[in-house]
Amino acid sequence: MNRRTFLSASAAVPAALPVLVRAADAPPRPVNRTTTAIAAYYLNAHMYTIVPRHVRADMEWMASIGTQYLCVGVLEQDLFAARENHALILAEATRVGMKVLAVPSRWAGLTAGAPKTPSLFSVANPDTWMMNKRGTTFVSPQVSGVISSIHHPKTLQFFQDTLAELFRQHPTMAGLILDEPKAFNIDTSPMAVAALGANAPLEAHLGAARDFYSKVCRFAKERWPEKLTILFQKADNHTPAELTAGGGVGPLDYYGCDGRPWTREEDQRFPHGGANSESGKGKILLSGIGQLFINTARKVPGRKSFFLAENHNITVAMIDAMDRDYPAALALRPDLFAYYYYPRNVQEPDRAMEIIAKHIRRFTQG
């Protein structure tokens, strides 16, 4: 594109997208005529470079398709290094009528979220580290480095103290999301052996994880009863034992899963290895798997269901599959349905977001 063409195209942007660039105009408000609330995952966007007009445009885009909740990633270090950034995002989300949910990210290595960084707490407290079946701390080195054991008393205290600081800084946040919580596996650390005994069966470890996250949620509900507590697991963790443990966490307002918004047949066409393999084979919302999590959530009176439709690490072929199957994922009607807003590693990010916007707008507004 030559300079004259570029300038002409740039000059046309305000006319083409007035909602996104005219901050003085009345902002869009979410319109959603369904019983399924819509959320956007906005993980660590603008944490160290923040441009207010970009954040404003992001919020208005999301609101225009019916998004009601914004989910922001919160690293423990963000509470001293990026508090003003979070405050700006919270203010802009509130301006367009969206509520904000915190996604505690990599706390003690026990939650997902973003980015993939070691927990400062875990790094500073090696006595808390979980161990695998081989007796080493090599549990999840490519995700968070090390993971602190749920059996160490410091770990629960860290969660409670950090939640208290989060909601002290940002009291209008609507709640928290425990994203793919870890420890639903075997821990052979000395603390785990002391608590469960040597060679404890998997079910004992799953039960201990259930109890730990229940303590986190109970702490939140006792301190801030109006705030939402949400927990979801990976869709490929759907054995009866895993569903019983995850669905047994309480008090929870929402329980569910994250996975690709397509069928098992589509999923089998894609390679599960290399750069686009993070979701794992079988980590899907369709072909009956997402419905298992909806059913599990609704077994508890008053509890609602949750989906996060994963659209990160997407190749062009996957975009086509997402386009075909997205309406079917929405048609399952979980009580809260989330999508990623411009996530990482997408070959054609604008096209992918246009497809998501098309389907969500059609779902929420007809």
Alpha-carbon distance 13 to 316, whole Å?
26
Alpha-carbon distance 261 to 3, whole Å?
41
Write out the two tokens for 325: 């199957």
Q: Which domains does the chain have, with CATH numbers?
A: 32-112+157-186+201-365 (3.20.20.60)
Respond yes or no on whether the N-terminal peptide bond of residue 115 is cis (omega within 30° of 0): yes
Paired residues of 70 in beta bridges: 40, 100
pLDDT tens digits in sequence order for the chain, 366 residues long: 443 333 333 333 333 333 444 445 688 899 999 999 999 999 977 778 899 999 999 999 999 999 999 999 999 999 999 999 999 999 999 999 999 999 999 999 999 998 889 999 999 999 999 998 888 776 777 777 899 999 999 999 999 999 999 999 999 999 999 999 999 999 999 999 999 999 999 999 999 999 999 999 999 999 999 999 999 999 999 999 999 999 999 999 999 999 999 999 999 998 765 544 566 778 999 999 999 999 999 999 999 999 999 999 999 999 999 999 999 999 999 999 999 999 999 999 999 999 999 999 999 999
Which amino acid, 292? L
pTM > 0.85: yes or no: yes
Write out the two tokens for 157: 């205290």
Look at strands 254-259 and 228-234 and give their pairing.
parallel
Alpha-carbon distance 174 to 228, whole Å?
6
pLDDT of residue 178: 98
pLDDT of residue 131: 92
pLDDT of residue 143: 74
Which amino acid, 359? H
* 307 close to 285: Cβ distance less than 8 angstroms: yes
Alpha-carbon distance 66 to 54, whole Å?
19
Alpha-carbon distance 114 to 90, whole Å?
18
